[in-house]
Amino acid sequence: MTADRVMLVTGASQRIGAAIALLAHVQGYRVGVHYRASAHQAAELVDTLNAKRAESAVSFCAEFSELDQCQGLIDAVIDQFGRLDVLVNNASEFFPTPLGQIDSANLSRIFKANVFAPLLLMQAAVPALSANSGAVVNILDIYADMVHPDHSAYCASKAALSMITRSMAVECAPQVRVNGVAPGAILWPEGESSVSEADKAAMLEKIPLHKTGTAEQIAAAVLYLCSDEAAFITGQTLALDGGRTAAAG
């Protein structure tokens, strides 16, 4: 039963993070909605969840470029809810770093968000998670194992988080399970990493199922890995990619 269980989802104000928070709430979790800058979207999501079940969701602001805020975020969630059962490391930085434009600032930005913060959040959360036979799910990327041109720093950061997922599964056992979900083409990037229509069509041709996945499918995979049905699964990464990695050989 998940009636009293608590899940913290980082980067939960929109897109995949919001889908995870919504499905977790449907399944009975109380939800910590972390955001960095999207305060309005986070507040709207929390209001939606609390309208369905009073006092079941709270938003928390933390800036992961300030790594000492990782411990503070975990402490705030536990202070609010009294426990923590699941940590979903979803917050991520994604932008191109072409050769010749890589510098210490963009490396720091990517690795703090995609590697250092998830690791520090896991470290901070393990005592509470251990008390409840909890779980961690890290949102990875199929590009942890594939080349994405002009995104070497991003790919390297996700590869690092993939190894952290495996190593933490060993270190945190048997009390806490640690797994990953690696999306392929789910939601097209926005902003500085937006994709042209021609590039979208070319990408779909590389996917055996010839379609993108959905944020709701990622959420379902995350919730499965947190469930009793997955109680014998740890240190694994589930790829939701329409066959993209299989086709790549």
Average confidence (pLDDT) over 147-160: 96
Average of per-residue pLDDT values in the chain: 94
State the pLDDT at residue 1. 46
Percent of the chain exceeding pLDDT 90 equals: 84
> Omega into 96 within 30° of 0, i.e. cis?
no
Of 206, 229, 111, 205, residue with least CA distance to 164? 111
Give the pLDDT confidence of 181-230 residue by residue, as tens digits: 999 887 666 655 567 888 778 878 889 998 889 999 999 999 999 999 99
Q: Which residue has the higher pLDDT, 207 or 44?
A: 44
The domain limits of the chain are 6-184+217-239
Of 46, 143, 154, 162, residue with least CA distance to 93? 154
* Known catalytic residue at 154: yes
Give the pLDDT confidence of 17-38 residue by residue, as tens digits: 999 999 999 999 999 999 999 9
- Choose, from 29, 35, 143, 154, the residue flagged as catalytic: 154
Average confidence (pLDDT) over 155-177: 98
- State the architecture of 6-184+217-239 in CATH terms: 3-Layer(aba) Sandwich (3.40)
Give the pLDDT confidence of 57-85 residue by residue, as tens digits: 999 999 999 999 999 999 999 999 999 99
